[in-house]
Amino acid sequence: MSRIGKRSVAIPSGVTANIEGKTLSVKGPKGTLTMGLSDLIEYKLEDGEISVKPANETRAARNHWGMQRTMVSNLVEGVTEGFTKVLEINGVGYRAQAQGKKLKLQLGYSHDVDLDVPEGLEVKTPDQTTVEISGIDKQAVGQFAANVRKWRKPEPYKGKGIKYRGEYIFRKEGKKK
């Protein structure tokens, strides 16, 4: 039994959800998100809640159960509050600058790194060493944050690079003299 899957997802006021065929669409104050529904899972929309149950007792259906419930929850949370990832840049001369729908990174390479911001995401740089990525789709926010981070992952000796806020960087000791 999935402990996460057993709990139904509450739909707050101002949010509407529709199940049409094999798609679930959730509309809220921040926008609309849709998700394809799995054949292994049974979805019910009743009393302002979405409940998720396995369609049959196969192992595959039980494996999908908790994840599908979490994905439904992320749709509801995305259209009400949205998601934000904050990246911090450490290193001499490393900086970031948001320019419209582009993010310009200076990471110690011989060239600047220009990244196009995907549709539906918003990138802010409150200062030169902080990048805030926000949007209503949790997967898109996380994927773009990972794409930015991969340009200069934090290294274990000095901690230089791009890291998530709150991420612990395992530090190593340098060579002994």
Q: What is the pLDDT of residues 69-125, one digit of tens each?
A: 999 999 999 999 999 999 999 999 999 999 989 999 999 999 999 999 999 999 999
At residue 176, the pLDDT reads 82
Same topology for domains 7-79 and 81-162, yes or no? yes
At residue 1, the pLDDT reads 63
Q: What is the pLDDT of residues 38-62, one digit of tens each?
A: 999 999 998 889 999 999 989 999 8
pLDDT band at 2, cuts 50/70/90?
A: confident
How far out from the chain centre does Cα 119 lie? 14
| Full 3-state SS string of the chain | CCHHHHCCEECCCCCEEEEECCEEEEEECCEEEEEECCCCEEEEEECCEEEEEECCCCHHHHHHHHHHHHHHHHHHHHHHCCEEEEEEEECCCCEEEEECCEEEEECCCCCCEEEECCCCEEEECCCCCEEEEEECCHHHHHHHHHHHHCCCCCCCCCCCEEEECCCCCCCCCCCCC
Residue whose C-alpha is closest to residue 41's, from 17, 20, 69 = 69
CATH hierarchy code of domain 81-162: 3.90.930.12
CATH of the domain spanning 7-79, picked from 3.90.930.12, 2.30.29.30, 3.30.1490.20, 1.10.8.80: 3.90.930.12
What's the whole-model pTM score? 0.90
Q: What is the pLDDT of residues 125-156, one digit of tens each?
A: 999 999 999 999 999 999 999 999 999 999 99
